[in-house]
Chains A and B, each alone.
Chain A
């Protein structure tokens, strides 16, 4: 079984997670840039973070045979802090990098005018750089947030089939599907979606343009949830081809729109005794 986690914040995860993910069949991940839990106060801390997503993190992933790509953006929460907004001017030089496969996560948090501006500007950046966009839907006031998100996407230069609308659930899936966007579902231990509800949605709406992710980060989350959904799909009567479509071919097709997806993991020379991320202390 080959699995692709199309939304996971590996920066917040341990090397043990990489090892367990590889063992569970995860061969590729996309790490969207996002909020770190502690608010940033200047563009320079974004730049160090983006550099890490294009440097250290892919190296760490490669040691476990996992291909690592990222998406780059100013996230909606920090788009509300005027100290952070100038990072928008730095994005063009990141959006040309080989490992950047989308603009994201963009979208709404509290649906403010500042979020409107950042979302529209970054959808335009995606169009300008021939990149798709990963658009997160808000955790609070989700249905209204989805509708406003879809309105902004319709008004943008980016066609809906180059947009992945994420964190969907039973209340938002139908309108999101009718928009023509790709459909993302985040499976969490307690919140968002769970494996069984995910299977019910797949039975009703089919596997077409559906992506499932763990969105694992620094909160209560589980980097093996993609495998959990694969197992739940098989247990409920889906075939292996359906699993492969949802958990491999669909994310490959969506992020492949960038023309930058490389799924062969480069060998990492000099892995210390072949079994540990290098920190110079083993």
Chain B
């Protein structure tokens, strides 16, 4: 039997990263509605109405949570993540509901919860979900976990390990929200990244381009300080 050389799915292509976490739900709604066909649009409007009204249950789960589960087959994989974020937003899901949806969700539903966090949870209560995602090796979850919510709330040690894990697993550091601000003058992050570069070099392996970028950002640059009104300086101090 001929066995052509295997070619794993191409890396990086098509990654949505944290874009959904950084887009306001109203803009997201406009984008999604423009792209969906009529049947999917009708389904979405009904799902959003149900999420707003919280009507009843379907067996063991609320109807609006059922809509989260079936979003992929009604709206297609291209829009499923965005549609799930919109449903969570319409449901005004609180940390308890987000935690339940995450724990009971597929990887795709968990990703949507992570994207929705900065839109729905002002405080750090949902950090355990981010920490759970950062423990996985699923790069789609990792990329979703390092969005604006993590930038606001993740303590310094966990945040540095998240950045290192992105370098390790090939998640583009462009997905790390607020990387410039949090990395600036972070000597400990610089040490960790530098050590990783030495380890790669010692093994005769190339050092990822993103590593140099992070290392540069850790320097004390003359860029203006963050807006004092910006949320979440917690965790930056090293």
Chain A residues within 8 Å of B, Cβ to Cβ: 19-20, 22-24, 54-56, 58-59, 62-65, 89-90, 92-93, 96-99, 224, 227-228, 231, 259-260, 262, 264-275, 277-280
Given contacts A98-B73, A266-B77, A270-B11, contact A54 B106 (CB under 8 A): yes
Q: Is the CB of B10 within 8 A of A97?
A: no
A64 to B7, CA, bound (A): 7
**Is B5 at the interface (CB under 8 A from chain A)?**
yes
Q: Is the CB of A56 within 8 A of B138?
A: yes
* Chain B contacts with A in 157-194, Cβ cutoff 8 A: 165-166, 168-172
Give the residues in chain B near A62, CB-CB below 8 Å.
9
Give the residues in chain B near A59, CB-CB below 8 Å.
107, 138-140
Smallest CB separation, B101 vs chain A (Å): 11
A179 to B11, CA, bound (A): 46
Chain-A contact segment, one of B12-20, B33-41, B85-93, B148-156: B12-20
Smallest CB separation, A279 vs chain B (Å): 6
Q: Is the CB of A22 within 8 A of B69?
A: no
Given contacts A266-B77, A267-B9, contact A97 B143 (CB under 8 A): no
Give the residues in chain A near B166, CB-CB below 8 Å.
270
**Is B202 at the interface (CB under 8 A from chain A)?**
no
Smallest CB separation, B236 vs chain A (Å): 25
A240 to B136, CA, bound (A): 42
Main secondary structure of the interface of A (DSSP, over half): loop
Q: Identify the closest chain B residue to A276 (Cβ).
A: B8
Smallest CB separation, A128 vs chain B (Å): 9
A271 to B168, CA, bound (A): 10
Most chain B CB inside 10 Å of its own CB: which residue of A55, A265, A275: A55
- A96 contact from B70, B80, B140, Cβ within 8 A: B70
Q: Is the CB of B9 within 8 A of A275?
A: no
A265 to B143, CA, bound (A): 18
Smallest CB separation, A108 vs chain B (Å): 26
- A266 contact from B14, B17, B142, Cβ within 8 A: B14
Smallest CB separation, B97 vs chain A (Å): 14
Q: What are 29 A-B contacts with C-beta separation under 8 Å? A: A22-B7, A23-B4, A24-B1, A54-B106, A59-B138, A63-B8, A64-B6, A64-B8, A65-B9, A92-B61, A93-B104, A98-B108, A259-B73, A260-B73, A262-B73, A264-B77, A266-B77, A267-B12, A269-B15, A269-B171, A270-B11, A270-B170, A271-B8, A271-B10, A271-B11, A272-B168, A272-B169, A274-B10, A280-B168
A62 to B108, CA, bound (A): 13
Given contacts A62-B9, A262-B77, A280-B168, contact A269 B139 (CB under 8 A): yes
Most chain B CB inside 10 Å of its own CB: which residue of A59, A64, A98: A98
**Is B3 at the interface (CB under 8 A from chain A)?**
yes
Give the residues in chain B near A259, CB-CB below 8 Å.
73
Given contact pairs A59-B107, A98-B70, A278-B139, a sample of 20 additional A-B residue pairs in the complex whose CB atoms are under 8 Å apart: A23-B6, A56-B136, A58-B107, A59-B138, A65-B7, A92-B61, A93-B69, A97-B69, A224-B1, A228-B1, A262-B73, A267-B13, A267-B14, A269-B12, A269-B143, A269-B172, A270-B15, A271-B8, A271-B10, A271-B170
Give the residues in chain A near B73, CB-CB below 8 Å.
98, 259-260, 262
A231 to B3, CA, bound (A): 13
A275 to B70, CA, bound (A): 32
Q: Is the CB of B6 within 8 A of A19?
A: yes
A63 to B61, CA, bound (A): 32
Q: Is the CB of A93 within 8 A of B172?
A: no
Give the residues in chain B near A56, CB-CB below 8 Å.
107, 136, 138
**Is B137 at the interface (CB under 8 A from chain A)?**
yes
Q: Identify the closest chain B residue to A89 (Cβ).
A: B60
A233 to B70, CA, bound (A): 38
Give the residues in chain A near B137, CB-CB below 8 Å.
277-280
Q: Is the CB of A270 within 8 A of B7?
A: no
- B15 contact from A97, A267, A274, Cβ within 8 A: A267
Q: Identify the closest chain B residue to A267 (Cβ).
A: B14
Q: Is the CB of B140 within 8 A of A269?
A: yes
Q: Is the CB of B11 within 8 A of A268?
A: yes
Q: Is the CB of A270 within 8 A of B139?
A: yes
Give the residues in chain B near A278, CB-CB below 8 Å.
137, 139, 169-170
